[in-house]
Amino acid sequence: MNLVDTHAHLDFRQFDADRGAVIERAQSAGVAAMVNVGTDLASSRRAVALAAEHEQIYAAVGMHPHDAKRLDGAALADLRELAQQPRVVAVGEIGLDFYRDRSPRDVQRRAFRAQLAWAGKMGKPVVIHDREAHDEIMGILTNWAQGLQGSSLTGRLGVLHTFSGDLAMAERAVELGFYISISGPVTYKNAHRLAGVVQALPLDRILVETDCPFLTPHPHRGKRNEPAYVRLVAEKIAALKGISFDDLAKATTANAQRLFQFELQPSMFEEERQSTDIEHRTSNREHQTGRRQD
């Protein structure tokens, strides 16, 4: 069954030595598509270039709150131009980070609102980064959503990536029209609150991601993350919700396609499984035909 890693940073230097092999491993693990998410102008350009080179990769472009102080008029214009490329499916990652505060908070807020504004005008969903800023994030997103009622983005405003809030926040985000994306931490032993959120969320609003090279799931925690490991995240969510892995994969992949509006090419894993199924059915028919002739 196909999976979609809805948030990866394959352009980062951690993948310079083996990027092609990482992409192949992802396909072999059943990952049919990856969304490579920009964090500044340079990484957004690299994301667009990767998407142009690999049919299973799509791009998001935007300025991360860490770099909000670099979002001047020229950078904003360049990002808007990049967002018009055919394989760019979202604006992001954008938002607020009050944990590291690498840009002043008022600058973060201005950059966040500016990027939300042009994402809405372009009809692009947004990829939201939120760290220690839950209340402000939801306040800003609520105001933005109210101005988009009846637009092409209704019901698919974006995704709160690597979700770290509580259930009330998740439910409010879903009510606004957002998806909730779950990454490696759901596999950690102490992730009790996140596990409860996953169990309570409707299946048609959940996405899976790696945020690679960060947040590596168990049992690979402490090593570099990569898209192939999104399968571990999906398996954990399926277990928490008491459903089969295939049902979870089918639902989250459909959710990703609904949000980002892209078509999927079958993964190598899925192609091999389909080929095996065909061979199995052919063998069974031949066996049954042979028995009838006997």
pLDDT digits (tens, 9 = 90+) for 189-220: 999 999 999 999 999 999 999 999 999 999 99
Q: Tell me the average pLDDT across 133-145.
A: 98
Please report the pLDDT score of residue 284 as a whole number: 52
Please report the pLDDT score of residue 280 as a whole number: 47
Higher per-residue pLDDT: 150 or 179: 179
Structure tokens at 198: 């996953």
Query: What confidence tier does 5 reach under pLDDT thresholds 50, 70, 90?
Result: very high
Residue-averaged pLDDT of the chain: 93
Q: pLDDT per residue over 37-86, tens digit each?
A: 999 999 999 999 999 999 999 999 999 999 999 999 999 999 999 999 99
Closest Cα to residue 97, out of 60, 129, 119?
Answer: 129
**Do residues 246 and 234 lie in contact, with contact meaning Cβ atoms separated by under 8 Å?**
no
What is the distance between the terminal CA atoms of the chain, rounded to a whole angstrom?
A: 38
Could you tell me the domains of the chain? Answer: 3-293 (3.20.20.140)
Structure tokens at 160: 């709160």
Q: Identify the burial level of 192 via C-beta atoms within 10 angstroms of its C-beta, where 0-12 means exposed, 13-18 middle and 19 or more buried.
A: exposed
Total number of residues shown for the chain: 294
281, HSE (Cβ side, Cα atoms, 13 Å) = 5
Structure tokens at 69: 């102080």
Please report the pLDDT score of residue 278 as a whole number: 43
Query: What confidence tier does 268 reach under pLDDT thresholds 50, 70, 90?
Result: low
Rounded CA-CA distance 208/241 in Å is 14
pTM exceeding 0.85: yes
Residue 27 has pLDDT above 90, yes or no: yes
Q: pLDDT per residue over 155-176, tens digit each?
A: 999 999 999 999 999 999 999 9
Structure tokens at 261: 């509006």
CB atoms within 10 A of CB 99: 12
